[in-house]
Amino acid sequence: MDTSQVRVAVIGGGPQGLCTLKNLLEEGFDATLFEQRGCIGGLWAYTDDPNVTTVLESTLANISKYKNCFADFPTKDEDPVYLNQKQFLRYLQDYVQIFRLGEKIQLNTVVLEVISPHKDDQEEKYSSFDKVIIATGGKIIHSSRFKKPQEFRDLDVMVVGFANTAADISTELVGHAKKGYVSHRRGIYAFPRLVNGKPIDLIASRRFATIAGTMAAIAPIRSLSIQDRRIDRTSKSCSKLDPAWNFRPAPSRSTNRVMVSDTFIPRLADGSIKSVANLTQIIDKNTVELADGSNISVDCIIFCTGYARDPPLVTGIEEPIPSSNAQDNAKNHLQLLCEVADLESMAIAQIWKGAYQMLTESQMNREIDAHHRWVNAALGDEPAAAVKVVQEAKWRAWLNDAAGTNVNEKLGVDSPHVMRLFDGRRRKWDGARDAIIRANHDVEERYGKRTSGKKNT
């Protein structure tokens, strides 16, 4: 296929859109990225503007630099293990510069609508593309526009939610708010960034993850409960958990997120933050009712209840994939942003090039049914509605296959650079081998020989 004849619009200049643009250009597609803001970086391009959702200026990535990087673009040696907002934004800006993406990016361009090519009313305001990637990120589904803790000085503040945003914002408020409550309906496995001195995301090796994924596919309930017991032990070995904080029972790691925070548990322990039951009702301007029947007085509520996809920009085009959340929600669960976004977009480039044959619709439907059966088995008593999940090992193996990385065939070191190591359909990166070796040396120097801390898992 002559990909240079295929015009692609990539909508959104966050990490996902940027690596998608690069991976499409690399395969010869005529791709252009449209970004509504005046800068790239998406959520990581902090602004004080309360109408624009971004991470906080104080946000530290919760995934280490060894995992949270694109396959052919390592972070700098002098970067800290966990990049902060400015460093991660600079990493994205460097990526744009090194791969000369700038000339293919149109800033200050809001895409209002994507319409079917068969629509009659083609006006001048529409541009024509053969393919569209929507990388517009998440949209906050509530009124929270938290930017600076100073705005909450001397207020009694309730944070609703018990995941990473709730942990970050509630600790950020300490020293500013008069009282801080965290209201939640379920527990969670919580970890500091470093466990026994090593980044938490280096604990499981690729081999371990593959074995665990295979076990989970064959015997979900048994294998997941074994894995969860290990995760429970590791989490408890990091921090002493007061039962009053209700971290347990926690939903399975395989079907739910974990919390990564260095500050949240210490702030619960010193009493700066109080864990309370789920918010059930706002009674009046200053009073809320909780699930345990108690009422408390608050001046302000910050909902840290997650993100939803933006409303679809697409109108009049049939959904290309059967209605299932199996792949759509993968990123929500997997989280390893740069690595997963890079792999996803390599796979898309290969599929669009015609180099990888997608399943037929009936095969996809069978896969989806099988996936739903697996989810039901894995969930046990957990409420299915709250869960967005993929079978990680299986899903990764499919992506690697579609992207043509040869990782499945050759297995490699557990680093994103391995996706560019071997000859395959997508372009190989000559720097990959050295980057993997350097990352491993660096990890070894900082944390000792093993990267798959046996005793921690």
Ligand X SMILES: NC(=O)c1ccc[n+]([C@@H]2O[C@H](COP(=O)([O-])OP(=O)(O)OC[C@H]3O[C@@H](n4cnc5c(N)ncnc54)[C@H](OP(=O)(O)O)[C@@H]3O)[C@@H](O)[C@H]2O)c1
Binds ligand FAD (CB under 6 A): choice among 8, 9, 21, 43: 43
Considering beta carbons, is residue 260 or 402 the nearer one to ligand FAD?
A: 260
**Amino acid identity of 429?**
W
The 8-class DSSP code of residue 101 comes to: -
Q: CA angle at residue 442 from 436 to 446, to 5 degrees? A: 145
Cβ neighbors of 373 (< 8 A, separation 6 or more) are: none
Q: Does 268 bind ligand X (CB under 6 A)?
A: no
Binds ligand FAD (CB under 6 A): choice among 10, 24, 32, 34: 34
Indicate the pairing of strand 287-290 with strand 295-297. antiparallel
**Residue 163 CB, nearest approach to ligand X (Å):** 3
Distance CA 202, CA 13 (A): 28
C-beta separation of 404 from 424 below 8 A: yes
Q: Does 14 bind ligand FAD (CB under 6 A)?
A: yes
Give the DSSP H or E segment for 362. Answer: helix 361-379
Distance CA 215, CA 217 (A): 5
Q: Does 306 bind ligand X (CB under 6 A)?
A: yes
Assign residue 19 a region (left: φ > 0; alpha: ψ between -120 and 50; beta: otherwise).
alpha
Q: What is the DSSP string of 150-183?
A: GGGTT-EEEEE--SHHHHHHHHHHTTTSSEEEEE
User: Please, what's the largest Cα pairwise distance for the chain?
Assistant: 66
Considering beta carbons, is residue 67 or 426 the nearer one to ligand X?
A: 67
Q: Does 246 bind ligand X (CB under 6 A)?
A: no
The 8-class DSSP code of residue 293 comes to: S
**Pattern of binders to ligand FAD over 149-188, x per CB under 6 A?**
----------------x-----------------------
Considering beta carbons, is residue 234 or 252 the nearer one to ligand X?
A: 252
Considering beta carbons, is residue 136 or 254 the nearer one to ligand FAD?
A: 136
> Per CB under 6 A, which of residues 64..83 are in contact with ligand FAD?
68
Q: Which residue is nearest to ligand X (CB)?
A: 306
**Residue 383 CB, nearest approach to ligand X (Å):** 8
Q: Which does 304 bind (CB under 5 to 8 A by kind): ligand X, ligand FAD, none?
A: ligand X
Question: Which parts of this chain interact with ligand X (CB under 6 A)?
Answer: 59-62, 160-166, 168, 184-186, 257, 278, 304-307, 335, 386
Residues that bind ligand FAD (CB under 6 A): 11-17, 34-37, 42-44, 55, 59, 61-63, 68, 110-111, 135-138, 165, 310, 313, 335-337
